[in-house]
Structures are given as C-alpha cells and as structure tokens.
Structure 1
Amino acid sequence: MTTRPDRIARVRLSSLRLPLTTPISDAKVLTGRQRPMTEIAFLFAEIGSEQGHEGVGFGYSKRAGGPGQYAHAREIAHELVGEDPNDIARIWDKLVWAGASVGRSGLATQAIAALDVALWDMKAKRAGLPLAKLLGAHRDSVRCYNTSGGFLHTPVEEVLKNATASLERGIGGIKIKVGQPDTRTDLARLDAVREHLGEDVPLMVDANQQWDRATAHRMGRAMERHGLVWIEEPLDAYDHAGHAALATALDTPVATGEMLTSVTEHAELIRAGGADVVQPDAPRIGGITPFLRLAALADHEHLQLAPHFAMEIHLHLAAAYRSEPWVEHFEWLEPLFEERLDIRDGRMIVPDRPGLGITMSEQARAWTTETYST
C-alpha cells in the first residue's frame, strides 16, 4: 500500500517587534558602534499541509534587518506551496537558490531560517516526537547559563543579585559582559562576581568583539585566575587567525561564532583553529538544516558546542550533539510563547511536547505589525 505524499498548502508570515523593558548595552555600545537595544524584530513562519499538519518557526534581528528578512521571506514563500514538507533539505536548497542573486548567506538565508525551522517543527510533530528525539538525542537535558543579567548597563550590585536569582531558578552558570573602556573596571566587576558566586559556579565572560589582539591577550591572562568556562568573542568575528593565536596562548577556552552567517564561514573559523567552543545561531545561518551540517563538522573536530540565543530552538539541537554542550538562557523571548521551558539543577529540560514544543502567544499576535499569506 502506498501513501500519497503530503503537500504544503499554505504559508503565513508575521513580522513583529518585541519591546525590551530596559535598553540593553554591551561593549559595542560603549565603543560607539551601536546604540542601546530597545527591541528585537522577529519573523515568524506558520506552515500548514494538505493533510492538516502544522509547523511554526522563527528568526530574528536584534537591530536593523528585521524588515529586510520579512521582505525577502515574502518574495520566496510561494516556492514552498505544493512541496512535500518532509523534503526539508531539498526545499532549503530551492529557497536559497530562489534568492541567490542577493547571496547565499546573511540576510538572504536568515529569511529562510523561519521557514526551515517551521518545517522541522512540523516533521517532528508529525512523528509525535520532540525535535531533539527526532534528530537523535544524546540527552534529555542540557547545561544552561544565563546572560541577560550581566550586561554592561547593569550596576555590579544588580549583576550580583541577578546571578543569585538565576541560580535560585535552577540555572547552572553565569555569563557577564566585559569590554569597558577601562579594562580595570572589567577586572573589578569580574572579581566581584567570582567572589559572590564562589569557585564552583561556572562563569563565562563576553567581550562582544571589541578588544584588539593585544588587549585580548592581556585580559585573557589576567582572567585566568578565575577558571572561566570560556572567553567569548574577544576579537572581531572574522579575525580567525587572531582567535587561533589566542586559543593557543590561553588556558581558558575561546568561544566565538554567533555572528557568522553561514556554514562556510564557520568552516573557515574551525579550519583556522579559531574556537575551542563554537557558538552557531540557527536563525543566523539559515535554520536547522545548515545547523546540522555545521554540528557534524564541529563534532568531527571534537569541539564544544554552545549555541547562541534562541533557546527555544537550540535546546533541541544541543540535546542532539554528541559531547556535553551548553545552552544560553534568555528570558526575553518568553512572552512570545504560551509555554515555558523547565529549568532545574543547572540544566534546561527538553520538553516532551512534539516538535519544538512552542505555540505563538496572543501577546505575539498583538505585537505583529504585518502579515502575509500564500
């Protein structure tokens, strides 16, 4: 008996903006390269099939680019209609070539990400499995650390309170931002956080690409006494040689990759030996399909994995990575979804709901500024 293939019947795109309670500043703001962040733009994709299966996915932009992602997705969305939703890799190639005139990385593939994620969500729902299980999970929970409580606009006393609150919530590690104009301020803040946490709590720092090579080497050596899990983005994201030299010189692992926008860019970083910890972002590199390609490459090189942001997606992908990864905890996106992720004993629990286990909230609908259906 043969089963008739399912077909994609409809695609709905939504552009929305999530406001942040407090303007957010990291080292890029202090160097004058960016303004404080006050909102995040999201592109949501909802895909339905002829047989009644549905999937939801999303991508985002933290500053400029959100309208561009939406516009590009709107131009290519019709390419999905009539396709078998299970043929995700082929559909990804079709979509990327539909817009190849403007590139096969960056904004062009970020617009595809929401569609790709929605197809994987549908496929896992169709199988009645959490996405991690569909991919082949190595674990049912993943170590998690908090970033949102340690930004540079936050006074150190509040950073300490935020760290305590995160640990009490069940989060396992703490990351703080560095990159102050006066490096002594960074070291003093780090000293205070380490003293507050004690020696046993995993601690990371993130310079958001704002050090030069000499500063990164000096600061890396000065911070080694704190036993950091990693130093993140000490240099420009495309300075692979600089990251490689730093990784060789320091005992502390070097983490980077969140700003790269394709598997090819990550492959160049890995080939150069520029990361002990790779930090891909599925929405930034085009979705789950390219993320899996990159994860296979990173695993082959025995690298640690710590995906950037979007924990609702990355929890599943990290759970399917062979060696023990980390997932970054940001509560910022929680208002977008009806569900909440379970965190306890330092770990984020893979939900037992099928697919990603997320549903767009009424608040997300209220923040929507534009929609398109095909």
Structure 2
Amino acid sequence: MTAQDIPRPNANEDQIAWIRVSSVFLPLATPISDAKVLTGRQKPMTEIAILFAEIHTRDGHSGLGFSYSKRAGGPGQFAHAKEIAPSLIGENPNDIARLWDKLAWAGASVGRSGLSTQAIGAFDVALWDLKAKRAGLSLAKLLGAQRDSVQCYNTSGGFLHTPLDQLLKNTDASREKGIGGIKLKVGQPDSSVDIHRVETVRKHLGEHFPLMVDANQQWSRPAAQRMCRILEQFNLVWIEEPLDCYDAEGHAALAQQFDTPIATGEMLTSVSEHWDFIRQRGADYLMPDAPRVGGVTPYLKVAALAEHAGLMIAPHFAMELHVHLAATHAREPWVEHFEWLEPLFNERLETRNGRMIVPTRPGLGVTLSEQVKQWTAAEAEAGQRP
C-alpha cells in the first residue's frame, strides 16, 4: 500500500470535538490614559482582559481565536463563552456562518451585540484560523488577499499620559521600526494643550508624514466643530471619534463640513450599528474591530457594506488579526500598530518602509506564549479532547 492508497479524513465530514476557553489578564507596563480618563468617565487602564478560544476537531485540526475587553467586561465575556461553547460540539467546523448564527441565538436573550457577540468573536476567529491552517494558507490568502503588506500607523506611543518630550521620542522610535504613521490622543480639558502637542509633533514629523488624532468621543458638538476647524491646518489623515460613538448624525455633519476626514466605528459592536453610520455617511474612515463585532464573519459584512458605500477602512486594535483582514480590501486601509498584545504570542509582526508585512504562516500565524499561563485566571472545557 502506498501513501496515496491510505484513506484520508473527509474535511467535509469533520466535527468539533473539544473546546477550551481561557480568561487571561494581560498587564500593561504603564497605566494608560486617554480623554475618557481626563473627563473622569474611566480610570487609567492597567490591564487587558483576553478571551481565548481553542477549537479541536475529531480529525486533528485546531484553531485559535481571541476577543478582548478593556477596563471591564472580561469575566462577563468568559462566562458567556463558557455557557455557549457546548453548542459547537459535534458541529462541522466548516459551517462558520451557520455556527455564528447558532451561537448568537444561543444567547439572544442578552442581545446580538455587545458582550455577547464579543464572546462569539473568539470562537469565530478560531474557526477561521482552523480553516486556513487546514488549507495550508494564511488567513489573508484564504480570504483572498489584495496585497502582501499594509500601511500602518502607531497609536501606543501617543497617549495623553505621555509627556511631550517623550512623545517626540516615541514618534522617532516608531519611524525607526518602519511604521508609516503616527496617531496622537487629544481631548485635554484645555484645548490649547491639544493644539500645542499636535503642532509640535507636526513640525517634528514634517508636513507630509501621515499624522492622525483621536478624541475618544469626549467633545461636545460645539467643541468638535471648533477643534475640527483648528485642526484643519495640520494636514491630518483623519480626526477620530470627535463625538459620542453612537452620534451618527453629528459625525456625518462634521464629515460633510470639513476637508479632514472623520473616522469612527471602533466602539460599535454589530453589523447593524455600523450600517447606521454607513447609510448616514457618518464617517470617511470606518474603523470596525473584528473581535468587538463578533469575529471575522460579521467583520466581512461590515467591510463589504463600507466598500459599496465608498468609505475607507481602518480596523481598530488587534493587529495580529487585522493585518490579514486589511490585506483583503480593494481600497488599501490603515492597520493600527499596538505592541500591547505581543507578549501573548511567540511570533512578531514585521514592519518595514511604513508597512506591516502580512504573515505567510498558516492561519493567523500565531501561537500562545508560555507567559499566558501565568496570566490565566480561569479556564473551561467542552467536549472530549481527541
């Protein structure tokens, strides 16, 4: 009998056999402050709650997915994931769209957005990771890549707690790493401080280096009008979240009035919430976050709607996932560079000449580091490990 004669498992008939969900709390080196902290609405961020889902099939295939929460909600995501995970046992892992719907309806009484869909996101990402790995393709190639690298910008060096002199050093460090843009947090109680910081960084970077700002929803409509008008002079790529994340009408008015593009969407947690912004033209750059909307499956729906409407895309956070998704868009997006999640994984993304290189390893191309064990607060299993 030759190798060709040995029967191989039929991928069409595989079944999910075992799932493990883990609640992990990743500590941050420095407490993080943005405008929400300065307005007293939130405390400085000291850790990120990560929800991991590991899915294994009867035929020996596996996938890793994750979602996350900042400041609150991590234990709730884990509890919901633990409760709905048994719904996947015995299911065919190929049927990702149907399984997303099954998980959504399993917890429909608590809604099909927010915490519930963020819990689903970890399973959905794991299923896409599994499918790509089984095919021997990166997730980007499985979905259909438009490019092998994506323009990227750094956010982690531009928070409000960072003194101005250190801010300038951070911009230099980002450029030396091959990152192609810089984003600054704004929203100081004294707007003149914001203007001075933006002006100083713009002079430091030069007139044409890509620069963005992010107000984290903390301006009123009058304040946003004033600040957008002042910020027009700095040749910004975009002004992000100038208003409350649900104020589609207000964002649309700013987008229509000013030359500088308006960006928002990271806090939206469903396709329908994004559709409200798309149909009202509430953003020039839409910023969907795949874990927050429920994974790759709903993210692709948001991206298709945005592309049809002629909006640009800039996915929020989670670069380890979003670099793959950004590679599939016809109109090149921006990927946000955050090194915060790097300690969770053994692999590192490469940046060069202003761009983030799309990994060629199968699936997401990441494996969990040994450090994850010490940050794990709780685990739960469903099914029988093959």
Instruction: Flag whether TM exceeds 0.5 (same fold).
Output: yes
> 1:42 is matched by which residue type in structure 2?
I
Question: Which residue pairs with 2:309 in the alignment?
Answer: 301
> 1:270 is matched by which residue type in structure 2?
I
Question: Which residue pairs with 2:90 in the alignment?
Answer: 82
Question: Which residue pairs with 1:9 in the alignment?
Answer: 17
Equivalent in 179, 183, 207 of residue 191 of structure 2: 183
Aligned pairs for 1:8-87 (under 5 A) are 8-87=16-95
Question: Which residue pairs with 2:280 in the alignment?
Answer: 272
Between the aligned partners of 1:233 and 1:77, the Cα distance in structure 2 is 34
What displacement does 1:217 show? 1.1
Aligned pairs for 1:1-374 (under 5 A) are 3=10, 5-374=13-382
What displacement does 1:200 show? 2.1
Between the aligned partners of 1:55 and 1:111, the Cα distance in structure 2 is 16
> 1:133 is matched by which residue type in structure 2?
K
> 1:279 is matched by which residue type in structure 2?
M
Between the aligned partners of 2:76 and 2:354, the Cα distance in structure 1 is 37
Between the aligned partners of 1:217 and 1:135, the Cα distance in structure 2 is 40
Cα deviation per residue 1:19-66 (whole Å; 9 max; x = unaligned)? 011100000000000000000000000000011001000000011100
Q: Secondary structure at the match of 1:296?
A: helix
Between the aligned partners of 1:128 and 1:156, the Cα distance in structure 2 is 46
> 1:82 is matched by which residue type in structure 2?
G
Between the aligned partners of 1:84 and 1:159, the Cα distance in structure 2 is 49
Runs of 4+ in 1 over 2 A off after TM superposition: 1-4
What displacement does 1:214 show? 1.0
Between the aligned partners of 1:250 and 1:373, the Cα distance in structure 2 is 51
What displacement does 1:369 show? 1.0
What displacement does 1:69 show? 0.2
> 1:318 is matched by which residue type in structure 2?
A
Between the aligned partners of 1:278 and 1:290, the Cα distance in structure 2 is 14
> 1:88 is matched by which residue type in structure 2?
I
Q: What number of residue pairs does the alignment pair up?
A: 374
TM, length-normalised to structure 2: 0.96
Q: Secondary structure at the match of 1:20?
A: strand
Cα deviation per residue 1:111-151 (whole Å; 9 max; x = unaligned)? 10000000000000011000000000110110000000000
> 2:83 is matched by which residue type in structure 1?
E
Between the aligned partners of 2:189 and 2:350, the Cα distance in structure 1 is 38
What displacement does 1:364 show? 1.2
Whether the aligned pair in 1 keeps the contact of 2:240 and 2:264 (CA below 8 Å) is yes
Worse-superposed segment, 214-223 or 333-342 = 214-223
Whether the aligned pair in 1 keeps the contact of 2:268 and 2:293 (CA below 8 Å) is yes
TM, length-normalised to structure 1: 0.99
Q: Secondary structure at the match of 1:340?
A: coil
**Unpaired runs of 5+ in structure 2?**
1-6
> 1:107 is matched by which residue type in structure 2?
L
Between the aligned partners of 1:144 and 1:362, the Cα distance in structure 2 is 28
Between the aligned partners of 2:148 and 2:263, the Cα distance in structure 1 is 24
Q: Secondary structure at the match of 1:21?
A: strand
Cα RMSD (Å) of the superposition?
0.9
> 1:165 is matched by which residue type in structure 2?
A
Between the aligned partners of 1:364 and 1:202, the Cα distance in structure 2 is 35
